[in-house]
A and B are shown apart, each in its own frame.
Chain A
Amino acid sequence: MGEQSGAQNAWDMLSDEQSQKHITTGSGDLNDILGGGIHCKEVTEIGGVPGVGKTQLGIQLAINVQIPVEYGGLGGKAVYIDTEGSFMVERVYQIAEGCIRDILEHFPHSHEKSSSGQKQLQPEHFLADIYYFRICSYTEQIAVINYLEKFLGEHKDVRIVVIDNVTFHFRQDFEDLALRTRVLSGLSLKLMKIAKTYNLAVVLLNQVTTKFTEGSFQLTLALGDSWSHSCTNRLILYWNGNERYAHLDKSPSLPVASAPYAVTGKGIRDAVSSHHKRARVT
């Protein structure tokens, strides 16, 4: 059979996949159900009710992607697309500090090494490596995603794109739902292409809405059935009593599973009840 350009056989892809690093979430339990962390080359949707920690997780991932390679991270930069203004810089600083403290705890001799050319473990440097876009309408959202391809061609060290949150501007302004479906499917394909082409993780935060199915109201992710297939993986964050839980709802390679997590002063970490004794950074 003739060679298709860009086609790869499964064996070669397997070796590529095995050498791929995942982006840690900060919680060992959460990393476990995700198969090590958030995957690059895939689009992961994270949905949940307001207050459960979607933005916290988004920010944590934007920080954790920057963990230098010598400490087990990807050493990459982040793009954060903010649609609602949830990105609180003071909180980002706090999470960066928490991450650095955990790195130093894990690698006690690191501050003694001369890190020439390597990332300085200062919160300011972590903040500097987040490219932040604030968008205020659905047209701006479409424009920024179209612009991303060019931007990422110029900034090849970006390893995560977080969109917080992808549904906000598409819920109010659209009367023509068919048009909305068309636009969103187009956006989703572009994001898939970006993830694959630039070998980065795309994380989409999504709100929940109520849906009347089988005679009762259920919480479901916003944007309807047509959007639900537009991601590679889906993680649903929910409350179980007083504890926060994450449920892996969709994945091509991992079984469905749930895990508890906590939002602490330092960021996302294992829940107090977790069997992971120490908060793991790598």
Chain B
Amino acid sequence: MAAAGGGGGGGGRATTSGCGLKRRYAPHDQEEETMNQDQSSKEDWCGRLWNGMDLLKDVTENKHVLPTGLEGIDTLLGGGLRQGQLTEVTGPSSSGKTQVCLHSASHAAVKHMGVVMYLDTSNSFSPSRIATIIDGTNDLSDQRGFDLPHKERLKTMMRSIVCKSVFDIFGMFEVLHQLEVSLLNDKVKSGGRKICLLIVDSISSLLAPIIGGKYPQGTTLKPPSPPHRLYPGISRGRSMMISVAMILKKLAYKHNLSVLVTNHMVSAGNGAVKPALGESWKAVPHVRLVISREHGSNICTATVLKHTLLASGRTAKFVVPS
């Protein structure tokens, strides 16, 4: 006989019917039983448990790399942009960051690896440049020898690159949310090509208006003299940065995407420069590359700042073809 649910007084004995309310009144020795019953709902909550062999199998079978098409960079990256990971390219103005993004997008399109989503914050996405890069790869021939005319092949490839302009951080959250929803929906439907690469050029432009304050992290914050104007800027901006970072990494992990973001440089005192977005950002990307270009030349240098698998500090030169 079931005890009255929610009734008053004394810890009565109640049968476990799977109802959480009754569980509160169940004595100790029945707890284990209830915990086993709820196992499946707990699993949905915190995700599958993987063992080491599962992970290794997943990495070798599912986690591919997307080459950028720029040889020096691909060598440094150990093949290319790894699926499931967030790669950052940082560097001073006009060092080639956008070119790396455009090359990565073009290369993924040429190899038919899937849809590329390009989020552009400075109107730098150039379709004519994409067409030039694709034309430059001599890979326009279909393996099976279908006699598609050049223009048709170019059209198919370029149609797999989707570009959207984003001009503020809230717009970015909106876009990522829409992307998440559509990816979850596509799990149910079949057909249609799946996104394989997400590019954000550049994430730092969207965050620059809201992060940074006079007082570095860790020092005592003295009240700023126009009161509370700087306070919101410090913690809110940094929390937005971490939010967007977490969303990007979650998208990468859950949907097996490669995510590529660009960052710019800020001054570090004494004429030196350092990557923007500060200390909290440093831990976010899986791989960080810093690139630079010699004035008046096509030759750029890339250095690994951080990599999950390979040693950092390695450098390579790459050429941006004209």
Contact = CB atoms under 8 A, between A and B. Distances in A.
Interface string A3-36: 1111111110110111000000000000000000
A178 B214 contact: yes
Interface string A232-266: 10100000000000000110110110000000000
Interface residues of B, number: 69
A273 interface: no
B90 to A, nearest CB: 11
Contacts of B271: 211-214
A231 B195 CA distance: 29
A218 B171 CA distance: 38
A136 to B, nearest CB: 22
B121 A1 contact: no
Contacts of B93: 225, 228-229, 234, 250
A201 to B, nearest CB: 11
A42 B125 CA distance: 10
Contacts, number: 165
Interface stretch (A62-70, A104-112, A180-188): A180-188
B163 A13 contact: yes
Interface string B80-112: 000000000000111000110010010001000
B122 A43 contact: yes
B126 A253 contact: yes
B159 A189 contact: no
Nearest to A178: B212
A192 interface: yes
B209 A250 contact: no
Contacts of A231: 122
Nearest to B130: A10
B129 interface: yes
Assign chain A's interface to a size class: 35 or more
B209 A185 contact: yes
B316 to A, nearest CB: 22
A59 interface: no
Binding site of B, secondary structure by majority: helix, strand, loop or mixed?
Answer: mixed
Given A182-B208, A189-B168, A225 B178 contact: no
A233 B121 CA distance: 13
Contacts of B154: 11
Given A11-B159, A234-B94, A2 B167 contact: no
Interface string B199-212: 00010111011111
A104 B206 CA distance: 47
A224 interface: yes
Contact of A193 (B167, B204, B264): B167
B266 A226 contact: yes
Interface string A161-198: 00000000000000010110111011011101101100
Contacts of A7: 117, 162-164
A206 interface: no
A205 to B, nearest CB: 17
Contact of A13 (B121, B127, B213, B264): B127
Interface string B143-179: 0000000000011001111111101100000010011
B213 A252 contact: no
A226 B193 contact: no
A186 B233 CA distance: 13
B128 interface: yes
A255 B128 CA distance: 13
Interface of A: 1-11, 13-14, 16-18, 41-43, 176, 178-179, 181-183, 185-186, 188-190, 192-193, 195-196, 211-214, 224-226, 228-232, 234, 249-250, 252-253, 255-256
Interface of B: 92-94, 98-99, 102, 105, 109, 115, 117, 121-132, 154-155, 158-165, 167-168, 175, 178-179, 181-183, 185-186, 192-195, 202, 204-206, 208-214, 230, 233, 264-267, 271, 273, 276, 296, 298, 322
Given A193-B165, A212-B271, A225-B267, 10 more contacts: A7-B117, A7-B162, A9-B158, A10-B125, A11-B127, A226-B267, A229-B264, A232-B124, A249-B94, A252-B99
* A-B complex: 9 closest residue pairs judged by Cβ atoms: A2-B182, A185-B208, A228-B93, A14-B127, A253-B126, A186-B209, A11-B158, A250-B94, A193-B167
